[in-house]
Amino acid sequence: MNKNKKVVIGLSGGVDSSVAAYLLKEQGYHVEAVFMRNWDSTLNHDLKGNPTAKNEVCEQELDYQDALRVANQLNIKLHRVDFIKEYWHEVFTYFLDEYKKNRTPNPDILCNNEIKFKAFIKHSEKLDFDYIAMGHYAKVDHSGKYPTLMRAKDQGKDQTYFLSQLETKQLENVLFPLGDLTKEEVREIALRENLATATKKDSTGICFIGERNFSEFLSNYLPAKKGKMKRLDGTYVKDHYGLMNYTIGQRRGLGIGGGIHDGAWYVVGKDLKTNTLFVEPDKNHPHLFSNKAIIKDIKWRGEKKNQKLTAKFRYRQKDVNVKINWLNDNELEVTYDNVKAVTPGQAAVFYDGDVCLGAGFIDLVYFDDELRIYS
For the ranges 6-20, 49-63, 116-130, the one whose mean pLDDT is highest: 6-20
Assess whether pLDDT exceeds 90 at residue 34: yes
What is the C-alpha to C-alpha distance for residues 175 and 41, in angstroms, rounded to an integer? 29
* SS3 state of residue 316: coil
In which band, very low, low, confident or very high, does the pLDDT at 84 lie, cut at 50, 70 and 90? confident
pLDDT value of residue 54: 46
Looking at residue 53, what is its pLDDT?
Answer: 45
CA-wise closest residue to 174 among 146, 134, 145, 124: 134
- Domain 6-192 is of which CATH architecture? 3-Layer(aba) Sandwich (3.40)
Higher pLDDT, 302 or 43: 302
> Which residue numbers are catalytic?
111, 207
Torsion of CA 93, 105, 209, 44, to 10 degrees: 20
Q: Model pTM?
A: 0.89
Residues 282 and 266: their CA atoms lie apart, in Å, by 7
The torsion of the CA quartet 332, 335, 336, 339, rounded to 10 degrees, works out to 70
To 5 degrees, how large is the angle CA 351–CA 11–CA 138?
15
Q: Residue 100 — pLDDT band, cuts 50, 70, 90?
A: confident
> pLDDT per residue over 220-265, tens digit each?
787 778 999 999 999 999 999 888 888 899 998 898 865 666 678 9
Helix boundaries (H) for 75-192 = 84-87, 93-100, 107-111, 120-124, 160-163, 183-192
Please give the CATH topology (third level) of the domain spanning 287-371.
Elongation Factor Tu (Ef-tu); domain 3 (2.40.30)
The predicted model gives 282-309 an average pLDDT of 95
Nearest residue to 174 (alpha-carbon basis) of 353, 347, 10: 10
DSSP at 56? P
For domain 224-280, say whether CATH 3.40.50.620 is its number: no
Do residues 247 and 122 lie in contact, with contact meaning Cβ atoms separated by under 8 Å?
no
pLDDT of 107 above 50: yes
Q: Kindly indicate the confidence band of residue 214, based on its pLDDT and cuts at 50, 70 and 90.
A: low
User: What's the pLDDT at 311?
Assistant: 98
Lowest mean pLDDT among 19-23, 206-210, 219-223: 206-210
Q: Where are the domains of the chain?
A: 6-192, 224-280, 287-371
Cα-based distances in Å from 187 to 17, 20, 23, 29, 178? 11, 11, 13, 22, 11
Model pLDDT, residue 207: 58
